[in-house]
Amino acid sequence: MSDLEHLMRVLPMVGAEPAILDDTGIAHVVAQGHHILSRRTVPGLRVELEETPGALIGQIVVEAGVTIVQPIHLCFGLTHPTGVQQIAIDVHVQEGAQARVLSHCLFPVAQAAQHRMQAMMTLGSGASLTYTEGHYHGLHGGMQVLPHATIKIGKGARYFSDFSLLSGSVGNLDIDYLVEVEEEGLAELSAKIFAHKTDRITLKESVILRGERSRSLIKTRVVLEGDASAEITGITEAHAKGARGHVDCMEIVQGRAHASAIPIVKVFHPEAKVTHEAAIGSVDKKELETLMARGLNPEQAVELIVSGILR
Amino acid sequence: MPIPLLDIQRLTVEVDRHSILDRLDLAVQAGEIHALLGANGSGKTTLAYVLMGCEGYVPSAGRVRLDGTDLLPLKMHERARLGLTLAWQEPARFEGVTVREYLSLGKPGCDPEPALKRVGLDPDRYLTRRMDKALSGGERHRIELASVLSMKPKLAILDEPAAGIDMLSIGHIIDIIRALKEAGGSVLLITHQEDVALIADRASQLCAGRIVFSGSPREAVDHFRGQTCVRCDGEVCGYVRP
Ligand SMILES: Nc1ncnc2c1ncn2[C@@H]1O[C@H](COP(=O)(O)OP(=O)(O)OP(=O)(O)O)[C@@H](O)[C@H]1O
Ligand SMILES: [Mg+2]
């Protein structure tokens, strides 16, 4: 089986279909390690990526005023148990442009491998970007996954990100996002992670609300079982009049797993406001008992509650 | 007297070393709506939790049988599978779970629409909604009743099902309590509302951990209002003897 076939076979695990490669209306890049296996672009979208021995480097530009109708698919992965994939990519959504990116990270057989993503994203004024990243990992664990990104959101621009790692065991996951939001900009960061075995999760999301009436929401849902552990840090700083931020973090801990949540809230303007809520613990007893009173056994009840939270 | 569907004998419960139920006897017949009245803090919800088998509510003495089966040794979901269920005074909320999923619990593949219509909620508007904080308290209560109805239980314990329901919608709640009976079930109806209590076939008053009166709902309401509690002389019920 070719590397491309290998990656396409597991694509449905993150909710996408291999048929996207044949659709001329859909832009895509598929890369195994530092080799691009398939690519396509559409009008208004520039994809400039370069294969180097140490990394895949380049930029993706959505030109000013352009709306890319279909989501842009980025499939990155490793088809071998070991290896390194390093991606340094800039994403520029120029003024008034709109796009959705679906990033599929596929590591079906990885055991002692590394995936590093160093991204710089800029959204011009009035632009909109939805960035959805879905991970599929096999059951081995043992990987180092390091998605790091700096995101600059221009005046009135809107950025939505949704990270999910819901199947398989990852190993070490270290997410670090820094988001700066200008006047009337909006940032919504959502992350959903299901960690098993000895997975170690570090998630740091920092939002700096620089502009007046800028807004942000950080929503994190982490479920841990086995010996997994997580440290979640959500930082929101509000620097201008009318800036509003909210942090909503929920972690469910089962088995011998352990978790911590560190919400950091800083407000530098009297007319700004940041709120946060964090809940860490086992599955809510009342929710559990309600389901058992409908006939679900404890395992079925926990499964339903957890799947709801990670949806 | 036929053998009761629910037969509680000398049930004694302490919570955190406080005596809450004290040798309580109560019988609910098959096909009966049985209202349970009692002052705030008299132990109604505690009784509901003990019957359902909630964590931390284990009786120190007594016996409970449902349709001839000893309930107390059973786990909560085993009791539910025997046909017992409970609608909480303050129903839980579930992130991500849709109303449709919630109403199909325990009966996968069942059609949740009739039950939802029965509580006066439009299936087109509600089936795809999430069971989270965005539902109002009253909506949540109604969905709870719809989920009990679609389970077709032998005995449904409803803990203040009309709390927080607007005046015009009380009729829907009463209607669904009757529907539970029409479907062949019994209802233990915990309520503070007279108009709701009066739809029952029988009613009992709980005071200081025991049933102090059983009779027709009219008689039980009058007894409760009449401050003639033989057990506490009106003190626990909160009333002064006239
Ligand atoms: N976990 C607990 N720890 C200590 N006391 C408790 C606990 N649960 C209940 N109680 C006490 O037991 C008594 C009965 O409470 P319960 O909730 O059963 O009353 P109720 O009849 O349902 O009241 P209401 O009409 O207000 O709903 C109260 O005095 C209450 O404070
Ligand atoms: Mg109560």
The pLDDT, as a whole number, for residue B240 is: 36
The pLDDT, as a whole number, for residue A54 is: 93
Q: Kindly state the DSSP code that residue A43 receives in the 8-state scheme.
A: T
A41 pLDDT more than 70: yes
Q: Which of B37, B42, B204 has the most ligand 1 atoms within 8 A of CB, as the residue to mutate?
A: B42
Q: Span A37-53, mean pLDDT?
A: 96
Give the position, in ligand 1's atom list, of the atom nearest the Cα of B47: 18
Which chain B residues touch A303 with a CB distance below 8 Å? none
What is the biggest distance separating any 2 CA atoms in chain B, rounded to whole angstroms?
57
Domains of chain B: 6-226 (3.40.50.300)
Q: Kindly state the DSSP code that residue A286 receives in the 8-state scheme.
A: H
CA distances from A183 to A66, A123, A152, A212 (A): 22, 12, 12, 5
* DSSP-assigned beta bridge partners for residue A107: A137
Please tell me the residue having the least CA distance from ligand 1 atom 28. B41
Ligand 1 interacting residues, C-beta cut-off 6 A: B 15-16, 18, 20, 38, 40-46, 89
Distance CA B122, CA B199 (A): 25
Q: Span A18-41, mean pLDDT?
A: 96
Distance CA B122, CA B104 (A): 17
Q: Which of A310, A306, A237, A240 is CA-nearest to residue A269?
A: A240
SS3 state of residue B240: coil
Distance CA B74, CA B78 (A): 6
Residue of B nearest to A284 (CA): B92
Collect all residues with Cβ–Cβ distance below 8 Å to A118 and sequence separation of at least 6.
A86, A87, A88, A89, A148, A149
Instruction: Yes or no: say if A40 and A27 are a contact pair by the CB < 8 Å rule.
Output: yes
Q: Which of B178, B190, B226, B230 is CA-nearest to residue B31?
A: B178
The pLDDT, as a whole number, for residue B26 is: 97
Quote the tokens at residue B13.
């419960």
* Nearest neighbour of B76 by CB, restricted to A286, A287, A293: A293
Quote the tokens at residue A296.
């679900």
Cβ <8 Å between A294 and B52: no
CA atoms within 13 A on the CB side of A243: 30
Distance CA A268, CA A264 (A): 13
Collect all residues with Cβ–Cβ distance below 8 Å to A288 and sequence separation of at least 6.
A298, A301, A302, A305
A132 pLDDT more than 80: yes
Helix (H) or strand (E) holding B197: helix B194-197
Please tell me the residue having the least CA distance from ligand 1 atom 13. B41
Please tell me the residue having the least CA distance from ligand 1 atom 17. B45
SS3 state of residue A71: coil
The pLDDT, as a whole number, for residue B236 is: 56
Q: Which of A49, A57, A58, A63 is CA-nearest to residue A93?
A: A63
- Residue B239, amino acid: Y
- B106 touches A at CB < 8 Å: yes
Tell me whether strands B202-207 and B210-215 are parallel, antiparallel or unpaired: antiparallel
Cβ <8 Å between A308 and B86: no
Radius of gyration of chain A (CA): 20
pLDDT tens digit at each of 242 positions of chain B: 678 999 999 999 998 888 899 999 999 999 999 999 998 888 999 999 999 999 999 999 999 999 999 999 999 999 999 999 999 989 999 999 999 999 988 676 788 899 899 888 999 999 999 999 889 888 998 999 999 998 999 999 999 998 888 888 888 889 889 999 999 999 999 999 999 999 999 999 998 889 988 999 999 998 888 766 656 655 555 443 33
Distance CA A143, CA A132 (A): 21
Collect all residues with Cβ–Cβ distance below 8 Å to A5 and sequence separation of at least 6.
none
Residue of B nearest to A303 (CA): B97
Q: Span A267-283, mean pLDDT?
A: 94
Q: Kindly state the DSSP code that residue B106 receives in the 8-state scheme.
A: T
What would the 3-class secondary structure string for A99-144 be? EEEEEEEEECCCCEEEEEEEEEEEECCCCEEEEEEEEEECCCCCEE
Quote the tokens at residue A282.
């086992």
Q: Which of B45, B188, B191 has the most ligand 1 atoms within 8 A of CB, as the residue to mutate?
A: B45
Distance CA B93, CA A305 (A): 10
- Residue A217, amino acid: L
Which chain A residues touch B86 with a CB distance below 8 Å? 293
pLDDT, tens digit (0-9, with 9 covering 90-100), for A74-101: 999 999 999 999 999 999 999 999 999 9
CA distances from B216 to A11, B134, B176, B202 (A): 65, 40, 21, 5
For helices A298-309 and A285-292, the axis angle rounded to 10 degrees is 120
Give the position, in ligand 1's atom list, of the atom nearest the Cα of B46: 18
Distance CA B6, CA B67 (A): 6
Q: Is the dihedral of CA B45, B50, B53, B56 positive or negative?
A: positive
Residue extents of the structural domains in chain A = 3-284
Instruction: Yes or no: say if B157 and B186 are a contact pair by the CB < 8 Å rule.
Output: no
pTM of the model: 0.85
Name residue, tokens 């530098």. A268
Distance CA B209, CA B24 (A): 7
Radius of gyration of chain B (CA): 18
The pLDDT, as a whole number, for residue B172 is: 85
Calculate how far, in angstroms, residue B90's C-alpha sits from the geometric centre of ligand 2: 9
Q: Which of A219, A87, A208 is CA-nearest to residue A152?
A: A208
- B85 touches A at CB < 8 Å: yes
pLDDT, tens digit (0-9, with 9 covering 90-100), for A225-260: 999 999 999 999 999 999 999 999 999 999 999 999
Which chain B residues touch A298 with a CB distance below 8 Å? 77
pLDDT: is A116 or B209 the higher one? A116
The pLDDT, as a whole number, for residue B1 is: 67
* DSSP-assigned beta bridge partners for residue A91: A60, A121
The pLDDT, as a whole number, for residue A285 is: 94
Cβ <8 Å between B96 and A290: no
The pLDDT, as a whole number, for residue B227 is: 64
Name residue, tokens 């946060």. A276
Q: Span A48-69, mean pLDDT?
A: 96
Distance CA A189, CA A207 (A): 9
